[in-house]
Chain A
Amino acid sequence: MNSRTRAIVLATGLAVLAAVPPVAGLLNQPFYLDLVRRIMIFAIAALSLNLILGYGGMISFGHAAYLGIGAYAVGVLAHYGIDNGFLQWALAIGASALVALVIGAVSIRTSGVYFIMITLAFTQMLYYLGISVEEFGGDDGMRLAAKSQFGLIDLNDGNAFYYLVLAVLVLFLFLGHRLVNSRFGMVIRAARSNEARTRSIGFSPYPYRLAAFVIAGAMCGLAGALLVNHTAYLTPEFMNWTRSGELMFMVILGGTASIAGPVLGAFALLLVEDALSGWTQHWQLILGPLLVLSVLFFRRGLAGLLFGKNE
């Protein structure tokens, strides 16, 4: 598929997303607005994970940590009466970046299964921290005192919030596209493809990988800030390891070789999950084999089916 058709597919997808609020309004089905907004938030998180997992070859099994940090940044500030959205979201991004810097600095020195386990272990630590802090509801979590305040944009308005999430998604698709094709992006992809060669031509991969890890964490932190506004509830479950696993599934299901792949993966996973759970309470029994089959048969993910071989 050439870049023109790809652009058309992408534009169509975005048009469909943009049409969701009016259509849901016409059908009087606000549930769909809610569902698609939630999916887009996870799509943003999955997209950020793919920068390090797909492009950087860093199999982080702890990416939900940044969903949690972003959410706690917003929730905790709101808890203390600070509801300025700009401040909250800046903290969500900044704190996520900082934590990613610390986790990355340690874990990127390892590789393979050690990297997977260390990223998981760090996230479990944060998860238990969330559970143990009673001030913020412990393992029950707590209601978000108020949604982030932005003046002009009111997140209590379902449609406005929806379009804000869509705008962030589009922005991140664009940023991600620029990033992976930049000099920086070429280095992290090269280091993934052949580390020995990359070192021999003069790149030390570590600082590039660390920077990618921080960028991905910061992006996911913003997804966390969106998520807590979406659920209006703060809970350590955002950082549960199963959440990290879901994000990985979205990435692998959607395809690691393109920026848009994980977005497709998020939609596929969460829509199927939604359909199955409405149909039977044993939906996880069906979802599991479906995921296995899809990974086996779509080696390049859904994006590979839709967009062809290359980004």
Chain B
Amino acid sequence: MNNNLLEVRGLTKSFGALLASDDIDLEVREGETHAIIGPNGAGKTTLISQLAGNLLPDRGRVRFAGEDITALSAPARSHRGFARSFQITSIYRDFTALENVMLAVQAHAGSSFRFWGSARAERALQEPARRVLEEVGLGARTGLPGGNLAHGEQRQLEVAMALATRPRLMLLDEPVAGMGAEETQRMVGLISTLKGGKTIILVEHDMDAVFSLADRVSVLVYGRIVATGTPEEIRTNAEVRRAYLGDEVAA
């Protein structure tokens, strides 16, 4: 067949009169980092939500590893190998950073219909969770409640929870949004270490991050994909420049 891990065909979603996804076709190859860029309100998060199973499309199909998963729920997709980080930080604020990640590990480590033993004490959950926290740079903050972490750290925790499910496909929705320069660099570094090993769909406004990480870029404008190509092709694409990149690239 082909080496597409994800194939999206004719994906359409409207909110009332607003067409947030307009007949989207998208192919993501196994192992590639595929960036999706576009102006605010273009429908990037809406697309990610439909891929992750948080939102049902009105029309269209999604195939993953050859299987039609259009009707699968978010938890079911998680078990197929999807993981998502949210643009608006979505963590367990009352649980510690470690517990946050342990829950993600737990969801993929056997049955959770266990009513007796202490989950916190399970080494088999703790160890992988600590490793992932170490990996994203939160190794020193494991005992803090998620709500008490700084903004950048919460973004790291987002990614840690996605990583902890050992996904095949990561959907990262603006992972460096609102981060300082140093934190951004660290996150970009982290994503570049994941590159190749995992397939990544990356929504990002930070063009430096996009052009340094992405193998291919798709441009979304008003719910439509107007171009897909290598970063170089996108940079020089006239339509893209007009619709979106314009000033930033010219500058």
User: In this assembly, does B78 line the interface, its C-beta being within 8 Å of a C-beta of chain A?
Assistant: yes
At the interface with chain A, which of B16-24, B89-97, B133-141? B89-97
At the interface with chain A, which of B112-120, B183-191, B219-227? B112-120
Are B161 and A197 in touch, CB under 8 angstroms?
A: yes
If A181-B119, A183-B112 touch, whether A190 touches B95 (CB-CB below 8 Å) is: yes
Closest beta carbon of chain B to A278's beta carbon, Å: 41
User: In this assembly, does B9 line the interface, its C-beta being within 8 Å of a C-beta of chain A?
Assistant: no
At the interface with chain B, which of A81-89, A202-210, A228-236? A202-210
Contacting residues of chain B (6-41) with chain A, CB-CB under 8 angstroms: none
Are A200 and B116 in touch, CB under 8 angstroms?
A: no
Are A199 and B103 in touch, CB under 8 angstroms?
A: no
CA distance A208 to B112 in the complex (A): 9
CA distance A203 to B111 in the complex (A): 11
Per-position contact with A for B83-105: 1 when CB-CB < 8 Å, else 0? Answer: 11010001111110001001110
User: In this assembly, does B199 line the interface, its C-beta being within 8 Å of a C-beta of chain A?
Assistant: no
Residues of A contacting B113 in the complex (Cβ-Cβ under 8 angstroms): 183-184, 208, 211
Name B114's contact: one of A182, A189, A197, A202 (CB within 8 Å): A182
Name B78's contact: one of A181, A196, A202 (CB within 8 Å): A202
Closest beta carbon of chain B to A80's beta carbon, Å: 34
User: In this assembly, does A132 line the interface, its C-beta being within 8 Å of a C-beta of chain B?
Assistant: no
Are B108 and A196 in touch, CB under 8 angstroms?
A: no
Are A190 and B115 in touch, CB under 8 angstroms?
A: no
User: In this assembly, does A268 line the interface, its C-beta being within 8 Å of a C-beta of chain B?
Assistant: no
The total of chain B residues at the interface (CB under 8 A) is 39
CA distance A183 to B117 in the complex (A): 8
Contacting residues of chain A (170-190) with chain B, CB-CB under 8 angstroms: 178-179, 181-187, 189-190
Are A197 and B107 in touch, CB under 8 angstroms?
A: no
Are B54 and A196 in touch, CB under 8 angstroms?
A: yes
Which among B54, B93, B106, B120 has the greatest number of chain A C-beta atoms within 10 A?
Answer: B106
Which among B54, B114, B165 has the greatest number of chain A C-beta atoms within 10 A?
Answer: B114
Are B116 and A182 in touch, CB under 8 angstroms?
A: yes
CA distance A198 to B115 in the complex (A): 18
Are A201 and B117 in touch, CB under 8 angstroms?
A: no
Residues of B contacting A182 in the complex (Cβ-Cβ under 8 angstroms): 114-119
Residues of A contacting B114 in the complex (Cβ-Cβ under 8 angstroms): 182-184
User: In this assembly, does B236 line the interface, its C-beta being within 8 Å of a C-beta of chain A?
Assistant: no
User: In this assembly, does B234 line the interface, its C-beta being within 8 Å of a C-beta of chain A?
Assistant: no
CA distance A186 to B76 in the complex (A): 19
* A residues at B contact (CB < 8 Å): 178-179, 181-187, 189-190, 193-194, 196-204, 208, 211
* B residues at A contact (CB < 8 Å): 52-54, 73-76, 78-79, 83-84, 86, 90-95, 99, 102-104, 106-108, 111-120, 122, 161, 164-165
